[in-house]
């Protein structure tokens, strides 16, 4: 064959190969920017004291909203958090009114208030906390999680962390004074490196009085939150700042914050932000008591003592989210997998990721009901699945908008999901491409599975898709 013909044939074969590769190479969806009303009802777009940006970016399968309010911009990293932020606005308005009252202004000038400020920076600066849009919950579709349990620790590292998680009476930030303790310790160490003791470790009447005042601060803060029906550990920066201000004033003894709240008309019954998702113990118990309570429940389902202590004291879960996860686990009553769940919980990096894990468990409980008891929690890559006691593998996906990205495709195509009896439960919506790809892989699909609180915010009805035997399409 002449060289020229050989070259022509080679080029033709190369072109055909390239065309074939292009035809078989899967194309994936990019996460879009959507109109907010495709995810929530128009009624949530604006109201007294707020307006929601109509353009919503989907990142990490969660919708990221921006609210304009009289006190400044607020970020809401999911539909769920958007509902919370809007419902918190009446409480924010009430706290603003109290903070402008003569009673509060008089109490705020008390020397005890100045003492509190001198110990540490008590009042937060909310604008500085708005650091842009987070990455959503894409990490849960990853290939693996970091290990924190017995099998992954050297003896020396494990011993050090066990001491650290049990030896420090204040190992994590539950309130603003944790920061003050750290500042006090650093200052003491600078003055006397040999001592390095914090104020709560030193004897003296003044330290004792300050400790009692800080205990009172936490109590007042929780009472205020209960009166307003809000999470005392809310991540709403403006609300947290005002709770701090009133709690410090109330802990001085000259200002009764709950009475001041009650004097404002229309405040009663503001408990709409969290509905039935907020366990009232977060109002009644202090963080240490909550940890003790949650430890007792965890021991029913977990065995690794270090993991339990790490989760209760060092994770990013607030006492509210910690309690919600423990309650959901106890309601689930799994036969095994509790330690694996804590491994996953200890890898969480943000409130949004913590909420995702809590909502995953709640979704399993709601979806399976009594059938959930006696099943097994399973870690798949960096995600969570559940094997019911009757042989179904359930994949809970509490996301706002599921697009068929390359990471979702890789996660779904794992060998862990070869079982023919498998269901994916999605709280929000999924693209037609996602529904088609899941159906072709034999999944039963349920979408629009939000709780009653969030259903008020959703646009569009619930939908369910289940593959029919001998058919390749689902009926929705």
Task: Based on the fold, state whether residues 269 and 313 are members of the same structural domain.
Answer: no
* Residue 255 in this model has a pLDDT that exceeds 70: no
Which domain range does residue 340 map to? 303-475
The single-letter DSSP state of residue 458 is B
Give residue for tokens 């009650």. Answer: 262
Number of domain units in the chain: 2
Task: Based on the fold, state whether residues 255 and 314 are members of the same structural domain.
Answer: no
Residue 365: which of 322, 394, 401 has the closest Cα? 394
pLDDT of amino acid 176: 42
pLDDT (average), residues 271-277: 49
More confidently predicted of 57 and 133: 57
> To the nearest whole number, what is the mean pLDDT of the chain?
75
Task: Based on the fold, state whether residues 332 and 260 are members of the same structural domain.
Answer: no
pLDDT of amino acid 106: 59
Task: Based on the fold, state whether residues 62 and 189 are members of the same structural domain.
Answer: yes
Q: Is residue 297 part of a domain?
A: no
Q: Is residue 6 part of a domain?
A: no
Task: Based on the fold, state whether residues 309 and 273 are members of the same structural domain.
Answer: no
Whether the Cβ atoms of residue 222 and residue 232 lie closer than 8 Å to each other: yes
pLDDT of amino acid 449: 80
pLDDT of amino acid 277: 66
Q: Is residue 147 part of a domain?
A: yes
Q: What is the band of 175 on the pLDDT scale with cuts at 50, 70, 90?
A: very low
Whether the Cβ atoms of residue 113 and residue 255 lie closer than 8 Å to each other: no
Q: Is residue 9 part of a domain?
A: no
Task: Based on the fold, state whether residues 352 and 253 are members of the same structural domain.
Answer: no
Task: Based on the fold, state whether residues 250 and 347 are members of the same structural domain.
Answer: no
SS3 113: helix
State the burial class of residue 49 (Cβ atoms within 10 Å of its Cβ: 0-12, 13-18, 19+).
middle
Q: Is residue 57 part of a domain?
A: yes
Strands 422-426 and 401-402: unpaired
Beta bridge partners of 63: 58
- From 259, 277, 295, give the residue that closes a domain: 277
Q: What is the band of 205 on the pLDDT scale with cuts at 50, 70, 90?
A: low
Residue 450 backbone phi and psi in degrees, to 5? -70, 160
The single-letter DSSP state of residue 40 is B
pLDDT (average), residues 23-27: 61
Task: Based on the fold, state whether residues 266 and 191 are members of the same structural domain.
Answer: yes
Task: Based on the fold, state whether residues 458 and 336 are members of the same structural domain.
Answer: yes
Q: Is residue 324 part of a domain?
A: yes
User: What's the CA gap between 428 and 40, in Å, rounded?
Assistant: 10
Q: Is residue 198 part of a domain?
A: yes
pLDDT of amino acid 258: 58
* Residue 203 in this model has a pLDDT that exceeds 80: no
Task: Based on the fold, state whether residues 217 and 309 are members of the same structural domain.
Answer: no
User: What's the CA gap between 183 and 43, in Å, rounded?
Assistant: 46
User: What's the CA gap between 436 and 430, in Å, rounded?
Assistant: 10
Where are any strands of DSSP class E within 60-209? 62-69, 72-76
pLDDT of amino acid 459: 45
pLDDT of amino acid 81: 94
What's the gap between Cα 77 and its chain centre? 10
* Residue 181 in this model has a pLDDT that exceeds 60: no
User: What's the CA gap between 281 and 323, in Å, rounded?
Assistant: 9
Task: Based on the fold, state whether residues 269 and 331 are members of the same structural domain.
Answer: no
Highest mean pLDDT among 24-33, 194-203, 206-215, 373-382: 373-382
Q: Is residue 94 part of a domain?
A: yes
* Residue 231 in this model has a pLDDT that exceeds 50: yes
Task: Based on the fold, state whether residues 266 and 324 are members of the same structural domain.
Answer: no
């Amino acid at each position: 064959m002449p060289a020229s013909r050989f070259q022509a044939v080679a080029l033709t074969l190369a072109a055909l190969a390239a065309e074939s590769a292009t035809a078989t190479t899967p194309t994936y969806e990019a996460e879009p920017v959507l109109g907010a009303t495709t995810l929530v009802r128009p009624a949530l777009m604006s109201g007294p004291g707020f307006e929601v940006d109509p353009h919503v970016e989907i990142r990490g399968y969660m919708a990221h909203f921006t609210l304009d309010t009289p006190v400044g911009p607020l970020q809401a990293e999911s539909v769920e958090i958007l509902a919370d932020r809007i419902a918190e606005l009446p409480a924010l308005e009430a706290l603003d009114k109290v903070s402008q009252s003569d009673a509060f202004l008089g109490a705020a000038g008390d020397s005890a208030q100045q003492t509190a400020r001198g110990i540490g920076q008590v009042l937060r600066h909310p604008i500085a906390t708005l650091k842009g849009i987070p990455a959503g919950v894409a990490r849960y579709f990853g290939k693996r999680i970091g290990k924190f349990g017995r099998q992954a620790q050297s003896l020396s590292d494990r011993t050090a962390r066990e001491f650290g998680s049990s030896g420090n009476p204040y190992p994590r930030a539950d309130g603003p004074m944790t920061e003050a303790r750290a500042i006090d310790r650093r200052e003491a160490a600078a003055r006397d490196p040999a001592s390095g003791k914090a104020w709560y470790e030193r004897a003296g009447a003044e330290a004792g009085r300050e400790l009692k005042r800080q205990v009172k601060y936490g109590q007042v803060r929780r009472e205020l939150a209960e009166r307003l029906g809000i999470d005392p550990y809310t991540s709403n920066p403006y609300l947290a700042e005002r709770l701090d201000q009133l709690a410090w004033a109330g802990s001085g003894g000259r200002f009764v914050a709950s009475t001041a709240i009650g004097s404002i008309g229309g405040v009663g019954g503001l408990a709409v932000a969290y509905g039935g998702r907020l366990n009232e113990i977060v109002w009644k118990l202090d963080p240490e008591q909550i940890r003790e309570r949650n430890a007792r429940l965890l021991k029913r389902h977990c065995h690794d003592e270090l993991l339990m202590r790490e989760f209760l004291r060092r994770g990013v879960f607030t006492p509210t989210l910690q309690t919600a996860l423990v309650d959901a686990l106890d309601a689930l009553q799994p036969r095994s997998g509790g330690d694996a769940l804590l491994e996953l919980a200890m890898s969480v990096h943000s409130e949004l990721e913590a909420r995702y894990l809590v909502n995953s468990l709640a979704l399993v409980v709601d979806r399976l009901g009594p059938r959930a008891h006696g099943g097994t929690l399973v870690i798949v890559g960096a995600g969570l699945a559940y094997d019911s006691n009757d042989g179904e593998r359930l994949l809970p996906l509490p996301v706002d908008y599921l697009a068929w990205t390359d990471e979702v495709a890789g996660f779904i195509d794992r060998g862990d999901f070869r079982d023919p009896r498998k269901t994916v439960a999605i709280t929000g919506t999924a693209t037609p491409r996602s529904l088609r790809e899941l159906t072709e892989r034999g999944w039963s699909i349920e979408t629009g599975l939000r709780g009653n609180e969030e259903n008020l915010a959703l646009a569009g009805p619930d939908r369910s898709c289940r593959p029919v035997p001998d058919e390749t399409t689902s009926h929705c």
